[in-house]
Amino acid sequence: MTAPQSPTRVLVLNSGSSSLKYQLLDMRDSSRLAVGLVERIGEATSRLVHTPLEGGGERRERTGPIADHDAALKAVSEELTQDGLGLDSPALAAIGHRVVHGGLKFHAPTVITDEVIAEVERLVPVAPLHNPANITGIRTARALRPDLPQVAVFDTAFHTTMPEAAARYAIDVETADAHRIRRYGFHGTSHAYVSRATAALLGKDPSEVNVIVLHLGNGASASAVAGGRCVETSMGLTPLEGLVMGTRSGDIDPAVTFHLKRVAGMSTDEIDALLNKKSGLVGLCGDNDMREIRRRIDEGDERARLAFDIYVHRLKKYIGAYYAVLGRVDAVAFTAGVGENAAPVREAALAGLEEMGLVVDAGLNAARSDTARLISPEYARVAVAVVPTDEELEIARQTFELVTGDVKKGVPDSPTA
């Protein structure tokens, strides 16, 4: 008799307020078995798009009302069952959940218990948009497979190694502590993955290299990673701080908000919406898609040009600042939608930095590829890399390691949050 095979599959769930994204991976070779998305949950026009990636199945689509996350996950489960990949399969080792805000308490992937859910709930005031949706996804998945280990992988976890000098704002300490106001940082799963993949591209161990990671998607953030540990990042208490983004302002004088309230008569909610949804590239030129902005620039559009210049100027400032924070930089890595695809952004952000050892080879920069690659010439002192991010694989990897390996489980016993 042969021993039963140990389970090797991980389902990764990313629950938004009205969406549920999922991927099923086999951790023997990190391959994707199926990927999909349910959107407009709770509306009459919900849509599920499911793509099996093994066995030659076709992409399938369902439209029609899906009332809530519970119904969404059940629909996903039906689709997976149709491909012979059902959630009741003994091959499923665990479910890994993306959780946006883990505060200070969660500095590592964590097996979900009632206590963990309660702590994630306590963090809702600092992540009002994201954590409630993440909790809904967790509750739904636990109800469906109560026997299965479920793991929370936090966007903030990678940044918990930041020194206090980087993480604290220079405001009254009692007020800051009473309201948990500090720099948490986000996109941590991506920064972790990309900094490690960059080290691998250089043929080094992460502990040997210092990397500046530029995650430039619709949301955008930079991080300084020294020997595998994050020492600084650009997003703060919320994902509003830092770089210019698709619709978010990034850094701004906080007095602008008082001014908008006192002089322009705007409410707090209106200011919140202005800075989060109507600022950044969209506020500057009406478009948040870098492809469209480049097309307009090619047609001589001045507003698009200025928006691009402001975006790149901020990026360059952060590269310089993080260079100084790290002291020695081995690589600058670009990732996410803009970072992976927009060669003009990469070129402009590093233009004029030859004295710092940063050079981009025009031919390598222009070449398109889906794999991690260097775009700096061989002689350059600092490597410049384009590294496609893979947050789902990172969540699956961390989840699988936790449930199969000898890694500490449960809530880490850090004293504050």
**Residues binding ligand ADP (CB under 6 A):** 217-219, 246, 288-291, 336-338, 341-342
Query: Which CB sits closer to ligand ADP, 188 or 219?
Result: 219
**Minimum CB distance to ligand ADP smaller for 116 or for 393:** 393
> Closest distance between ligand ADP and the C-beta of residue 415, in Å?
34
Closest distance of CB 365 from ligand ADP, Å: 13
Q: How far is the CB of 304 from ligand ADP (least distance, A)?
A: 12
Q: How far is the CB of 218 from ligand ADP (least distance, A)?
A: 4
Return the number of the residue (182 or 346) whose C-beta is nearest ligand ADP. Answer: 346
Residue 29: Cβ-neighbour burial (10 angstroms; 0-12, 13-18, 19+): exposed
Closer residue to ligand ADP in complex, CB, 10/342:
342
Among 155, 287, 330, 390, the one annotated catalytic: 155
Which residue lies nearer to ligand ADP by CB, 8 or 218? 218
Q: Least Å distance between CB 389 and ligand ADP?
A: 7
Nearest residue to ligand ADP, scored by beta-carbon proximity: 337
Long-range contacts of 236-241 (CB under 8 A, 24+ apart): 236/169, 236/182, 236/183, 236/184, 236/185, 237/126, 237/169, 237/181, 237/182, 237/183, 237/184, 238/126, 238/127, 239/186, 239/187, 240/275, 240/276, 241/183
Q: How far apart are CA 271 and CA 268, in angstroms?
A: 5
Annotated active-site residue 70? The verdict is no
Q: Which residues are catalytic?
A: 155
